[in-house]
Amino acid sequence: MSSTTASAGALTEGPTIPRWLRYAGTPVVLALVTWATLAWVFSQDLLSRETALLNTEKIVDETIQHLYLTVVATLVVLLIAIPLGIMLTRPWSKPVRPLFLGLANLGQATPSFGVLVLVAAITGNVGNGVAIFGLVVYATLPVLRNTMVGIQQVDDHVIDAARGMGLSPLQVLLRIELPLAVPVMLAGVRTTLVIVVGTAALAVFVGGGALGLYIQNGIQLASTPVLVTGAVLTAVLALAIDWLGGIAEDLLRPKGL
Partner 1 sequence: MPDTSTAAEIRLEKLTKVYPGSDEPAVKDVSLTIPAGEIVVFVGPSGCGKTTTMRMINRLIEPTSGDIFLDGENVTHMDASKLRRRIGYTIQKIGLFPHQTIFDNVATVPRLVGWDDQRTTDRVNDLLDLVGLDPSTYGERFPKELSGGQQQRVGVARAMAADPPVMLMDEPFGATDPITRERLQNEFLRIQADIGKTIVFVTHDIDEAIKMGDRIAILKEQSVIAQYDTPENILSAPASEFVSDFIGSGASLKRLNLARVRDVEIDQMLTVTADTPATEMRRILEDLDRTTLLLLDDEGRPIRWLTAKDIDKISGTRTADTVGMPVIALVEPQATLQDALDEMLRSNGGCAVVVDGQKRYQGTVDMETAIDAIRNLREISEEHLRKERDAGSPAAGASATREEGAA
Q: Which residues bind partner 1 (CB under 8 A)?
A: 155, 157-168, 171, 175-176, 179-180, 254-257
CB under 8 Å, gap of 24 or more: what pairs does 10-19 form?
10/246, 10/249, 10/250, 11/257, 19/250
CB of residue 166 vs partner 1: minimum separation in angstroms?
4
Instruction: Closer to partner 1 by CB, 129 or 179: give it.
Output: 179
Instruction: Closer to partner 1 by CB, 102 or 254: give it.
Output: 254
Instruction: Closer to partner 1 by CB, 6 or 158: give it.
Output: 158
CB of residue 254 vs partner 1: minimum separation in angstroms?
4
CB of residue 174 vs partner 1: minimum separation in angstroms?
13
Rounded CA-CA distance 205/212 in Å is 8
Q: Apex CA 153: angle with CA 143 and CA 242, to 5°?
A: 35
Instruction: Closer to partner 1 by CB, 11 or 121: give it.
Output: 11
CB of residue 164 vs partner 1: minimum separation in angstroms?
4
The neighbour count for residue 227, using CB atoms within 10 Å, is: 18
